[in-house]
Amino acid sequence: MSSSAQASQPYKANPKQTVLTFLITLTIFSLVAYFTFFPLRPSLLLRRLHRKLPKPFYRLFGRISHALQPLLVHFSAPTDLAVAIRSFSDYSFAQQAALDAKWRSFERMGKRHRRLGQKLGWRAKLESVEGKLEANSRVTDELAALGMERARKEGVPLGLGMRSRFARQDGRVVEVLKHFVRDWSAEGKSERDALFPPILEALEKEFPKRDGAEELDVLVPGCGLARLAYEIASLGFSVEANDFSHFMNLASSLIFNRTQSINQHTIHPYLHSFSHHRSIENMLRPISFPDVVPPKGIDLHFEPGDFLKLFPEKETHSAVVTLFFIDTASNLCDYLETIWRVLKPGGIWINEGPLLYYGNPGMALPLEDVIRLAELMGFVIEDRRTLNDSKYTADDEGMYSFAYHCEFWVARKPVNSLKPPPPTSSNASPSSAATPSQ
């Protein structure tokens, strides 16, 4: 058809456009008429429109978000429990990858040097490490299974983020294996004997009668694998053990809930580093744990989670014991205020440890300022001394040793103190704390 014929045809309106135009015109006419006949009430109309118009959209978006919630959970950042599960379950894979790098480094050496390595038995040593990794993975797999069981029981979403290798923290798995040695093996007894007695003796001195006539509750935040908490409970105290890390909580659950006999588990904790070993036998030596099985009836309860949020009630504990803990605070004032709050009047805070601050805390105070801060909070320092050469997850048969000079103190919350005193002025008298013994 020619263009002239098309131009001569009459225009036909689209029915849909006609209806839409009519509705828009009707809406405008209605609004103008309303404001004309009810000139004093436009704000009321607008309020009604503001209340009613969004409701259908809110309901629609609510239904969509509710339908997508199971999917959105999988894309959320992994929780600490999810990270722990992934890290424990991938232990064998991660360590094998590190060992593969050592194989490749050896294969890149020249032929003459590889022959020398053969005479030294280097290939056989690497193969031995591979075998011992499998023994370790039996423990880490059990820890991962404990984590999955806890996630199902508590309804904790694991998320697709757990499947990412970026959610894995391999160093913390190695740390847990070393803590099994430190806290629950015969080999770790020397470290425990250097750190535990001052704390236990201070508790026994403060509370000589533990016959049940008086309720003696002790809180141990940052309990790790809970060996110290167990030793305190063995003296007759009622103990609450707390730790934020699911790595540590799952490991302590293995000891207290899945272990029936002494030395039931065996690991090789020193094979993760090839440095500072006198022999391959020392590097690969097995360590069995636990050296004692905690009895079921012991008065020890676990409260995993954030120490600052889990204990909001006041004056609930006779003592608080912190071992290698206060330097983990992002705000040391929060820690001390929480300790003050949970202590009963006359209760004691026993602290022991170094000041190895993590991250970037609000105040990374030196020791004397920490003591002064405790006094500003209202604590009275009654006993203080330095414990030299305190080791932490060390290899006693290795060629390298690192030790802390830990500070120990007993601080009391005075009986007549109902709340921390206000901060003193800058010209207040200097601290009356005793100079630490050398």
Q: pLDDT digits over 243-268, tens only?
A: 999 999 999 999 999 999 999 999 99
Q: Rounded mean pLDDT of 169-186?
A: 97
Phi/psi of residue 242, each to 5°? -130, 135
Q: What is d(CA 263, CA 291) in angstroms, rounded to the nearest whole number? A: 6
In this structure, what is the dihedral angle of CA atoms 349, 371, 306, 303, given to the nearest 10 degrees? Answer: -20
Residue with tokens 């131009």: 7
Q: Which of 255, 213, 257 is nearest to 236 (CA)?
A: 213
DSSP label of 311:
-
Q: Rounded mean pLDDT of 87-114?
A: 95
Q: Select the CATH number that applies to the domain covering 183-438 from these four: 3.40.50.300, 3.40.50.720, 1.10.287.110, 3.40.50.150.
A: 3.40.50.150
Q: Which of 267, 271, 272 is nearest to 255 (CA)?
A: 267
Q: What is d(CA 177, CA 268) in angstroms, rounded to the nearest whole number? A: 8
Radius of gyration of the chain (CA): 33
| Amino acid at site 286 | P
Q: Rounded mean pLDDT of 142-159?
A: 87
Residue with tokens 């030596």: 285
Beta strands of 312-416 (E only): which ranges? 317-323, 343-353, 380-391, 403-412
Contact 210, 236 (CB under 8 A): yes
How would residue 428 be classed by pLDDT, with cut points 50, 70 and 90? very low
How would residue 113 be classed by pLDDT, with cut points 50, 70 and 90? very high
Q: Indicate the length of the chain as a whole number.
A: 438
Which pLDDT does position 434 carry in this prediction? 35
Which of residues 234 and 30 earns the better pLDDT score?
234
Cis ω for the linkage preceding 290 (within 30 of 0): yes
How would residue 6 be classed by pLDDT, with cut points 50, 70 and 90? very low
Which pLDDT does position 325 carry in this prediction? 97
Question: Which ranges in 285-366 belong to alpha helices (H)?
Answer: 307-310, 332-342
Domain positions in the chain: 15-73, 183-438
Q: How far is CA 50 from the centre of its chain?
A: 46
